[in-house]
Structure 1
Amino acid sequence: MRLVVYTGLCGLMAAPVVVHPILGFAAILCIAIAAGAAGALNQWYEADIDAKMKRTQNRPLPAGRMTRQTALHFGVGLGVGSVVLMDLATNHVAAIWLAISILFYVIVYTMWLKPRTPQNIVIGGAAGAFPPLIGWAAATGSTPLMAWILFAIIFLWTPPHFWALSLFVRTDYANAGIPMLPVVAGARHTRQQILLYTLPMAAVAIAPWPLGYSGWLYGTVSVVLNAIFLALAIRVWRNEASEPSGMKPEKRLFAFSIIYLFALFGALAIDAKVLG
């Protein structure tokens, strides 16, 4: 949730226009509300699954603190409200992409992909990649190539980020019957995929600098961050541990992947607004 709001803000700040602070705040608020809507609808649909997983057993529905009908009404209300407010505060383009992001997460990822295929997090990663695109659209009313590069960075970042986590909590997914990659293909194949996805992610993340969309600050930070990410991904690839206690490389990669995205998008926003 923090990353959703943060990357949306950075997308808005990186856009080559000056946005009125109140309208900018409204746009980011809409992104946050929409993310809340998607999360609520996800938990409404997966209440039975959440009850089987240790890390989700204390969520409101499996813990009995809220009924499923209430969660459904809450999620739909947040979703519709966020899209309407985005349209009124900014423009139709941003509102349309915001609506698409909610529907993609709930219908395409949660209902369709997640229970059926180990590629769920790959295709479904698009849902989490929309915020900077929406932020850019809220500022400019358009989605040029740079906005889609920001989308692609998160899209390619999601598999190594989430697979690193799923390696040391795969028992939860297995118990819930969710076909995450470590469950159906094993740890070794998952580690290979983490490394393979890290390579194009690094290339796309560095691309704004040589393409002239960013300056030296973003370029330098991006090269350093991606070098560290790649080094950690190589350690994960080389690891042979099968138990969570031996998965320190995976845990380090997962922790760094969050820092990575915060620092990368922060550098982009600073580069655009302070040095640009």
Structure 2
Amino acid sequence: MVSAPVSHRGSTESPPQRQHGPRIRAQLRRVGDVVRAYLGLTKTRIIEQLLVVTVPAMFLAERGIPSVWLIVATLVGGAMAAASAHALNCVVDADIDAVMKRTARRPLAKGQVPTRHALIFGLVLGALSSVWLGLTTNWLAAALSAAAIAFYVLVYTLLLKRRTAQNIVWGGAAGCMPVVIGWAAVTGTVEWPALVMFGVIFFWTPPHFWALAMRYKDDYAAAGVPMLPVVATPVQVSARIVVYSWVMALWTLLLLPATSWIYAAVAVAGGGWFVFKSHRLHAGVRAGREVVPMRLFHLSNMYLCVLFAAIAVDAAVGLPVLGWPF
């Protein structure tokens, strides 16, 4: 008579299989932690914003919709370039990131990634981005991408950030490069509309970042970083936000000769709303009221996205431009 098989507490697995299960799950968790740590080095949220402005610049350069392959190739190369710059920035700024509450959870600040590995990761991504853009778009776009990485790391992070309150004004030029790279990927050249879009982001960056820095002033002070709100009074900071908001809003109008009424309506209405909000912040600061500068920060993100979406729609619809063709 054959006896019935012995049941292991109702499980159909053999004991060795049950022992391997938790071990495999633990290994998968460790792999996931490593992947998340390296993704954390790249600051993916900032990359998303950079890519948002790249595609409209490509639409305007094409005066229509570029090939899907060219868009994908440019976005992949641009994402790698931005990830490289951010990873290298994390390497240089690991000491101050550990001090600031806003950045204390970044991978190097928490010791999740060895510094040497992060440095290699950033350099490899930068090299790959240049080669990728050169082979899939053109070498002008690749050269502009490499220049943006070098400027962000060498000029902004190493030279300006810890030495001058003008750090974000001039260092922010690196964040303006995606529109120029997108234009170059389509045309193989850099023409005046690309430079106007560069200027829009250039003048948008100070009010955008200074609003954030007003909120995290104590963080920057503790880290010894002379962001404008650390070295200037709140009234001086909000006054400069107003000035740059006006310049930005007026600068957006320089793109009217290359666009139609769609962009014009968004640029005028959106710019007017942004200027109004900056004046409202300044009035509150001058009156000594408690203000919430992060509202302007979040508004600035939405404003830039809507403005560049208008550029894309304008180009895709193909309406006659207000000025002369380019």
TM-score norm. by structure 2 comes to 0.81
Task: Tell me whether 21-30 or 264-273 shows the greater mean CA deviation.
Answer: 21-30
Amino acid in the other structure paired with 1:268? I
**Structure 1 residue 275: Cα displacement:** 3.2
Structural mapping, 1:115-264, within 5 Å: 115-209=162-256, 212-240=257-285, 246-248=290-292, 250-264=293-307
Cα distance in 1, alignment partners of residues 215 and 107 from structure 2: 24
**1:187–1:242 CA contact under 8 A, matched in 2:** no
Q: Match for residue 111 of structure 1? A: 158
Deviation at 1:19, TM superposition (A): 3.1
RMSD: 1.5
Detail structure 1 runs of 4+ shifted over 4 Å in the superposition. none
Indicate the SS of the match to 1:55. coil
Moved more, 48-57 or 18-27: 18-27
Is 1:10 the counterpart of 2:56? The answer is yes
Q: Secondary structure in 1 aligned to 2:66?
A: coil
1:275 maps to: 318
The CA deviation at 1:187 is 1.2
Contact kept in structure 2, 1:136 and 1:142, CA below 8 Å = yes
Aligned to 1:22: 69
Whether the 8 Å contact between 1:41 and 1:71 is mirrored in structure 2 is yes
Residue 246 of structure 1 deviates from its aligned partner by 2.3
Partner of 2:147: 100
Q: Is the contact made by 1:129 and 1:151 (CA closer than 8 Å) also made in structure 2?
A: yes
Gap runs ≥5 in structure 1:
none
TM-score, normalised by the number of residues in structure 1:
0.95
- Which residue, 100, 104, 107 being the options, matches 1:53? 100
Whose Rg is larger? 2
Identity of aligned residues (%): 42
Deviation at 1:23, TM superposition (A): 2.3
Unaligned runs of 5+ in 2: 1-46, 320-326
Equivalent residue number for residue 265 of structure 1: 308
Cα displacement string for residues 121-157 of structure 1 (whole angstroms, at most 9, x for unaligned residues): 0001101001011101001001100000000000000
Contact 1:241–1:247 under 8 Å retained in 2: no
